[in-house]
Structure formats: structure tokens, C-alpha cells
Amino acid sequence: MSRRIEHYNDPDAPRANRLIPAASAVVADESGAILLLRRTDNGLWTIPGGAMEPGESIAETAVRETREETGLVVEAIRIVGVYSNPRHVVEYTDGEVRQQFSVCFACRRLFGDLATSDESAEVGFYAPDALAAMSIHGSIRLRIQHFLEGRPEAFIG
């Protein structure tokens, strides 16, 4: 697996050479705890998400990525936001540098058991007040914050 380096508002970041549609999912349980996984490629905690594949809708991407990374089957219920900050790029060891473009969905858990994958070293639900002590990228914190705020309209930025 290619290692990834997140550059966020970094003036020394490499220039993006790819733009790939992606989706992410914020899943909360009945108590309001948020589903997070610890990535195997950079060790950071994150919400499920990843690149869109041909033949699927962007909401289907969020559902598939959640199942692949956490073992849970979810349904997308609303858009939290569209995140396309050109100052947020992800650099891979193979030379690819992606500008972030992700639609984040609020999702409802349908069924399934928590499970790790080759992309997730740990998976679990964490209370919002526990997140401050976790190593979570700023762009993911922003998505979680927007979800927790219960905004009446999706964030666009």
C-alpha cells in the first residue's frame, strides 16, 4: 500500500496532479458516538471514506467504503458537506498528489459487526468529547464538527 502524506494549508505542499471524486461518512450510534477507524497508511483516526469507482453513485461510494473499512452496512441520509479545498492535497509515495474533493454524508447504521480491514487497524464508536485527544486530521475534524452542529444546509467549501 502506498503511504500518504496530508498537506493542509501548507505553502510548501506539492502541486496537485489529480482530482478524484470521493465520499466520506459520518455514522453516529444511538448515544451520539461517532464511528472512527485508525488508518493503516498514516496512523491517523478518520471517518470511513474513499475514492468513487466507475458504475456507482457518490452515495454508494460512502456506503461501500464504510462496509469495506469498518464492516458496517449503512445508508446515506443527508449531505454534511462538499469539501474541495485546493489547499488540501494528499501526496502518495508513487508521485500522485490529489486535491481533495469529497462529499461527506451523514449515514445511519443498518446492520453489521465492527471489523478491521487492510485499511483500518482499529474501528470503534467514540464519544464526541473523546475526539479532542485523538490524532485526527483537521479536514476530518471539520466534517465531524459540521455533522455535530446539525447544520440545516450542507457546507460547501
Nearby residues of 12 by Cβ (< 8 Å), 6 or more positions away: none
Instruction: State percent of the chain over pLDDT 90.
Output: 93
CB-based contacts of 133: which residues, under 8 Å, 6+ apart? Answer: none
pLDDT in tens, 90-106: 999 999 999 989 999 99
The confidence score (pLDDT) of residue 42 equals 87
> pLDDT at position 2, please?
64
Tally the residues of the chain: 157
- C-alpha to C-alpha distance for 7 and 4, rounded to whole angstroms: 10
More confident call, 2 vs 121: 121
> Where do the domains of the chain lie, and which CATH numbers do they carry?
4-156 (3.90.79.10)
**Given this model, what pLDDT does residue 1 score?**
53
What is the end-to-end Cα distance of the chain in Å, rounded? Answer: 29
> What is the rounded average pLDDT of the residues 130-148?
97
pLDDT digits (tens, 9 = 90+) for 24-82: 999 999 999 999 999 998 899 999 999 999 999 999 999 999 999 999 999 999 999 99
How confident is the prediction for the chain on average, in pLDDT? 95
Quickly count: other Cβ atoms within 10 Å of residue 98's Cβ.
18
